[in-house]
Amino acid sequence: MKKLFKIIAILVATLVLLVIVGLIRLNSDAQHVIIDGPAMEPTIHSNQRLTPTQYKVGELPKRGDIVEYTSSNMLVRKYSKSGKLLHRIIALPGERVTIDNNKVLVYNTQNPDGFNPDAAYLSGDVVTAGAIDLKLGQNRYFVMGDNRPNALDSRAFGPIAADDIIGKISF
């Protein structure tokens, strides 16, 4: 009889342990992002698995950060059921962004004549379709995919709110 109780206790303990491990794994998988689509190629590839990290208290997103964010925009929801996307921050709150003749320029107090933000992280000619002249409001960020011809980004649905940023991707 003692052997039977011992066997049952071991089985119950094993089952409880398996459930705990499964819940931990399920919880950790929920924090991962599996990339679906070519918008960030060649930097990030489709089916690549990444983990966004939250910004620390008081830390603000920076130009060049790749961020995961949510959007309730209907165009976004058409292509992403979760409404979550991953793009690079091109312009910061208060800056002006222009796109003309495949050229992206960002204007701010340090660069009143504008600068090309792509030079810091993209190589070669970057085809950036669209015509935009937009000044960003407070807590608004302009995001774009690295693979511009295949990216649904701020050119289509406008700037994103700081509150919609889930976290940044670090390599």
Where residue 24 falls among pLDDT bands split at 50, 70, 90? very low
Q: Cβ distance 48 to 35 under 8 Å?
A: yes
Where residue 28 falls among pLDDT bands split at 50, 70, 90? very low
User: 91: how many CB neighbours lie within 10 A of its CB?
Assistant: 26
Side-chain-side CA neighbours of 52 within 13 Å: the count stands at 23
What pLDDT is recorded for position 75? Answer: 64
Concatenate the DSSP letters of all residues of 69-100 into one string: EE---HHHHHH-TT-EEEEEEEE-TT-EEEEE
Quote the percentage of the chain above a pLDDT of 90.
39
Question: What pTM was estimated for this model as a whole?
Answer: 0.78
Q: 64: which 2 tokens? A: 């060049």
* Distance between CA atoms of residues 51 and 53, nearest Å: 6
The per-residue pLDDT for range 39-93, each reduced to its tens digit, is 888 888 788 888 889 999 889 999 999 999 887 766 666 666 667 889 999 999 9
What pLDDT is recorded for position 71? Answer: 76
- Model confidence at 13: pLDDT above 50: no
Find the range with the poorest average confidence among 9-18, 39-48, 123-132: 9-18
Nearest C-alpha neighbor of 31 from the set 8, 53, 48 = 53
- Model confidence at 35: pLDDT above 70: yes
Whole-number Cα distances in Å, 35 to 17, 25, 61, 104: 31, 19, 21, 25
* Distance between CA atoms of residues 50 and 34, nearest Å: 6
Q: Residue 48 contacts by C-beta under 8 Å, 6 or more apart in sequence?
A: 34, 35
Using CA atoms in the order 113, 161, 76, 142, what is the torsion angle rounded to 10 degrees?
Answer: 10
Regarding predicted confidence, which is higher, 72 or 99? 99
Concatenate the DSSP letters of all residues of 101-144 into one string: TTEEEEE-SS-TT-B-GGGGT--S-------EEEE--TTEEEEE
Quote the percentage of the chain above a pLDDT of 70.
75
